């Protein structure tokens, strides 16, 4: 149930981020969602895509340092309090979130949360046991994105 | 020529001996030095026996070329005090070299050596305008570093009042200089510019509002352009001096009022200039590596010490009346040592730090510049997949670990720059790891 995230090291100089998307675009890689973390000096770009194997290869050929990171995609009701209720569950179970990002969709009732856990298997177990949340496969995530795009 | 040149500026009669007399004195002292180390220093006894030579073979200054070189590694290998040429109880002071990996190398002195050292520092201080009715402010670090104490005792020898301000707190240094109406400033050239800058920030005109008239600067490379800037900014006459703790500390050479090279203290040292590739003497006027033999130092007597400093030696007679030859500015190194904020740093130490944190050595470059007159070091490291983490906390931990290790090993703080693979320049053959943007070759040679 874990899905692969591409983590890319970005040097802090103009054009680095554009360089990544140029390579992915010209190789026909579709991005489902992404997030960045920066410091003054460098950044980390996190990307979710179905074509992660190809993306990793072409980015490495372009001299980027790329790691694969297992993350968990969780379907969350897209309404006030949706996010806080899942966070409360993790806190109660003592499950640590390293970082997270989401793609809410204005046209569906669900949002997808991408989260990096210290122990992803424990997190998945908790999600499965919950009532309102669902751990998604790569296929599910892709469908969710498509559904959002079609309706928009 | 400055006004001083017309006055009497020679401290010691040995500075102006007729050349034959000076060279005869050097030959006599060389023979004694060789006999002394052969008898007292097992390291040299063995070297001489292997080469089949003894003091009997040393009868002129040219005979110095029969002697083996001494290198920095020999000092480390004989840590802590195996090169002593006198019994331990004769030692009066122990200093140590700056910023070396692991063990330092010691610079040790008998009471007689301390006397000589004070005298040699007094020579260039007196030549540069210091007189006994004046004050001199020492903004060098004290402690194990030879610079502070060497100059301190030189000032006392001249008979002037010494203010041992040491380093740091520039605002306080400025008020000390002003309140005491101090005539002479002693520090690194970059710190002199820093003092001027801070004085300006305080709303002062450093050339008018600071009382100093003379400055003696050393401990790091500098240029004629920097001299002009210091003189204009502070309204002083600036003098260059040279020394290294391995053979003494400051006082090995210093400028006279003509300021056309630093007079070598040839009665206490024998100087050679060799091609670092062939070890043969260079032709007159050519740049070579300065080789120094201690003629009089009792506690340790180094033979043909390879300074790795590149310079020229001027042989023509100086207008000041001294007969000693003069060395030009140090224009480079025959190894890759950098002098950063007065601390000696080798690229291999940066490599060692990366290796100890990472287990491998990634490709790296060291860049030096001098914004606001203070040396800045930027170390760029190409990140490798095993060093990279998607977690910011781990990346920050990596940066801090490298920073800390570099500081521990070199003693200096750097700006660490993580970069993508294959983005730093590659060089054929011997890797060029250092880009020094502080001065150009032309500026140094001017
Ligand atoms: Zn002179």
For B50-100, how does the pLDDT look when each residue is reduced to its tens digit (9 = 90+)? 999 999 999 999 999 999 999 999 998 999 999 999 999 999 999 998 644
**Nearest-10 crossing angle of helices B224-234, B189-201:** 30
Closest chain A residue by Cα to residue B384:
A65
Do B333 and B310 touch, CB atoms closer than 8 A? Answer: yes
Distance from the CA of B25 to the center of ligand 1, in angstroms?
Answer: 20
pLDDT digits (tens, 9 = 90+) for A58-88: 999 999 999 999 999 999 887 788 888 889 9
Task: Indicate the residue of B391, B393, B419 with minimum beta-carbon distance to A11.
Answer: B419
Which chain A residues are Cβ-neighbours of B395 within 8 angstroms?
Answer: 39, 42, 44
Radius of gyration of chain A (CA): 16
Placement of tokens 């979710």 in the chain: A48
CATH class of A2-70: alpha beta
Dump pLDDT digits (tens) for B100-128.
Answer: 455 788 999 999 999 999 999 999 999 99
Tell me phi and psi for residue B376, to 5 degrees: -125, 140
Distances (CA, A) of A134 to A32, A49, A142, B127: 18, 19, 15, 86
CATH number of A71-148: 3.30.70.260
In what order do the strands lie in the sheet containing B269-274? Answer: B269-274, B288-294, B305-311, B332-333
* Predicted local distance difference test score (pLDDT) of residue A12: 84
Of B395, B399, B420, the CB nearest to A11: B420
Q: Kindly report the backbone phi and psi dihedral angles of residue B169, in degrees, each rounded to the nearest multiple of 5, phi listed first.
A: 50, 70
Domains A2-70 and A71-148 share a fold: no
Could you tell me the maximum CA-CA distance found in chain B, to the nearest angstrom?
73
Stretch B232-240: mean pLDDT: 97
Annotated domain spans of chain A:
2-70, 71-148
| Low-confidence winner among A21-25, B422-426, B435-439 (lowest mean pLDDT) | B422-426
Query: What are φ and ψ of residue B69, in 5° steps?
Result: -75, 155
Q: pLDDT tens digits for B287-333?
A: 999 999 999 999 999 999 999 999 999 999 999 999 999 999 998 88
In SS3 terms, chain B reads as CCHHHHCCCCCCHHHHCCHHHHHHHHHHHHHHHHHHHHHHCHHHHHHHHHHCCCHHHCCCHHHHHHCCCECHHHHHHCCCCCCCCCCHHHEEEEEECCCCCCCCCEEEEEHHHHHHHHHHHHHHHHHCCCCCCCEEEECCCCCCCHHHHHHHHHHHHHCCEEECCCCCCHHHHHHHHHHHCCCEEEECHHHHHHHHHHHHHCCCCHHHHCCCCEEEECCCCCCHHHHHHHHHHHCCEEEEEEEECCCCEEEEEEECCCCCCEEECCCCEEEEEECCCCCCECCCCCCEEEEEEECCCCCCCCCCEEEEEEECEECCCCCCCCCCCEECCCCEECCCCEEECCEEECHHHHHHHHHHHHCCCCCEEEEEECHHHCCEEEEEEECCHHHCCCCHHHHHHHHHHHHHHHHHHHCCCCEEEEECCCCCCCCCCCCCCEEECCCCHHHHHC
Give me the residue from B390, B391, B421 closest to A63, CB to CB. Answer: B421
Please tell me the predicted confidence (pLDDT) of residue B368: 94
Domains belonging to chain B, first-starting first, are 6-335 (3.40.50.12780), 340-445 (3.30.300.30)
* Residue A35 touches chain B, beta carbons under 8 Å: no
- The whole-chain average pLDDT of chain B stands at 92
User: What are the tens digits of pLDDT across the range B161-179?
Assistant: 999 999 889 999 999 999 9
Indicate the DSSP class of residue A65: -
The average pLDDT across B342-367 equals 86
Residue of B nearest to A42 (CA): B418
Q: How many CB pairs under 8 A join A and B?
A: 51
Sign of the C-alpha dihedral computed for residues B263, B268, B272 and B273 taken in this order: negative
Please tell me the least confidently modeled range out of B26-35, B189-198, B262-271.
B189-198
Query: Which residues in A lie closer than 8 A to residue B388 (C-beta atoms)?
Result: 7, 9, 65, 67
- Give the pLDDT confidence score for residue B6 in this predicted structure: 45
Q: Does A46 touch chain B (CB under 8 A)?
A: yes
Residue A38 clears pLDDT 90, i.e. is over it: no
Is the confidence at residue A148, as pLDDT, over 80? no
A9:B383 CB<8 A: yes
Give the range among B270-279, B312-321, B353-362 with minimum mean pLDDT.
Answer: B353-362
Distance from CA of A60 to the nearest CA of B (A): 10
Q: Which of residues 112-141 of A touch B (CB under 8 A)?
A: 116
pLDDT of res. B318: 96
- pLDDT surpasses 60 at B429: no
| Contact predicate B59/B31, CB 8 Å | yes
Buried b (16+ CB within 10 A) or exposed e, B85-94: bbeeebbebe
User: For residues A149 and A33, what is the distance between their CA atoms, to the nearest angstrom?
Assistant: 12
> For residues B330 and B311, what is the distance between their CA atoms, to the nearest angstrom?
5
Label the pairing between strands B376-382 and B415-419.
Answer: parallel
Beta-carbon count within 10 A of B53 CB: 17
CB B158 within 8 A of CB B125: yes
The predicted model scores a pTM of 0.78
Tens digits of residue pLDDT in A121-143: 999 999 999 888 999 988 888 88
Quote the percentage of chain B above a pLDDT of 90: 76
For range B350-364, the mean pLDDT? 86
Q: Which residues of B touch A (CB under 8 A)?
A: 383-385, 388-393, 395-396, 399, 417-423
Token pair, residue B405, equals 């290790």
Give the per-residue pLDDT at A42.
Answer: 92
The ipTM value here is: 0.90
In angstroms, rounded to a whole number, what is the distance separating the alpha carbons of residues B147 and B149? 6
Cα separation of the two ends of chain A: 28
Residues on chain B touching A69 (C-beta within 8 angstroms)? 390
């Amino acid at each position: 149930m874990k899905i692969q995230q591409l983590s890319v090291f970005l040097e802090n100089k103009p054009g680095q981020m554009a360089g990544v998307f140029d390579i992915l675009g010209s190789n026909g890689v579709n991005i489902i969602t992404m997030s960045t973390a920066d410091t003054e000096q460098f950044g980390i770009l996190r990307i979710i895509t179905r074509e992660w194997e190809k993306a990793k290869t072409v980015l490495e050929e372009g001299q980027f340092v790329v790691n694969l990171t297992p993350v968990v995609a969780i379907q969350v009701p897209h309404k006030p309090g949706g996010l806080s209720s899942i966070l409360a569950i993790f806190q109660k179970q003592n499950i640590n979130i390293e970082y997270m990002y989401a793609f809410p969709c204005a046209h569906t009732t669900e949002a997808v949360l991408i989260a990096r856990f210290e122990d992803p298997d424990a997190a998945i177990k908790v999600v499965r046991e919950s009532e309102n949340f669902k751990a998604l496969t790569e296929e599910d995530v892709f469908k969710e994105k498509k559904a959002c795009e079609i309706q928009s | 020529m400055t006004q001083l040149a017309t006055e009497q500026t020679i401290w010691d009669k040995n500075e102006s001996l007729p050349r034959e007399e000076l060279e005869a004195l050097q030959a006599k002292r060389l023979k004694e030095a060789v006999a002394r180390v052969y008898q007292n220093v097992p390291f040299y006894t063995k070297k001489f026996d292997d080469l089949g030579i003894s003091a009997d073979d040393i009868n002129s200054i040219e005979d110095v070329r029969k002697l083996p070189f001494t290198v920095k590694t020999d000092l480390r290998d004989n840590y802590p005090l195996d090169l002593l040429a006198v019994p331990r109880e004769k030692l009066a002071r122990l200093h140590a070299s700056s910023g070396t990996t692991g063990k330092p190398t010691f610079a040790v002195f008998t009471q007689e050596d301390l006397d000589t050292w004070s005298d040699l520092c007094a020579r260039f201080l007196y030549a540069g305008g210091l007189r006994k009715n004046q004050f001199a402010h020492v903004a060098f670090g004290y402690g194990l570093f030879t610079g502070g104490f060497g100059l301190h005792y030189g000032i006392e020898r001249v008979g002037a009042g010494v203010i041992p301000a040491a380093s740091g707190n520039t605002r306080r240094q400025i008020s000390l200089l002003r309140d005491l109406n101090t005539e002479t400033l002693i520090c690194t050239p970059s710190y002199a510019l820093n003092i001027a800058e801070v004085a300006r920030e305080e709303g002062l005109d450093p050339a008018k509002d600071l009382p100093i008239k003379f400055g003696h600067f050393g401990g790091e490379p500098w240029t004629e352009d920097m001299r002009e800037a210091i003189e204009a900014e502070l309204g002083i006459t600036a003098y260059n001096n040279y020394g290294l703790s391995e053979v003494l500390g400051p006082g090995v050479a210093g400028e006279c009022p003509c300021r056309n090279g630093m007079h070598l203290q040839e009665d206490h040292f024998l100087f050679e200039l060799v091609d670092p590739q062939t070890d043969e003497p260079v032709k007159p006027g050519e740049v070579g590596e300065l080789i120094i033999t201690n003629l009089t130092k009792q506690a340790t007597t180094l033979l043909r010490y390879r300074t790795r400093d590149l310079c020229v030696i001027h042989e023509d007679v100086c207008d000041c009346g001294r007969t000693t030859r003069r060395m030009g500015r140090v224009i480079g190194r025959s190894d890759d040592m950098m002098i950063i904020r007065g601390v000696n740093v080798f690229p291999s130490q940066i490599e060692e730090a990366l290796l100890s944190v990472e287990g491998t050595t990634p490709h790296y470059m060291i860049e030096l510049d001098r914004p606001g007159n203070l040396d800045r070091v930027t170390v760029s490291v190409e990140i490798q997949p095993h060093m990279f983490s998607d977690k910011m906390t781990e990346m920050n931990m990596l940066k801090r670990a490298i920073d800390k290790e570099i500081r521990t090993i070199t003693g200096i703080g750097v700006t660490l720059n993580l970069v993508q693979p294959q983005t730093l320049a590659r060089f054929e053959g011997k890797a060029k790891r250092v880009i020094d943007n502080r001065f150009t070759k032309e500026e140094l040679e001017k």
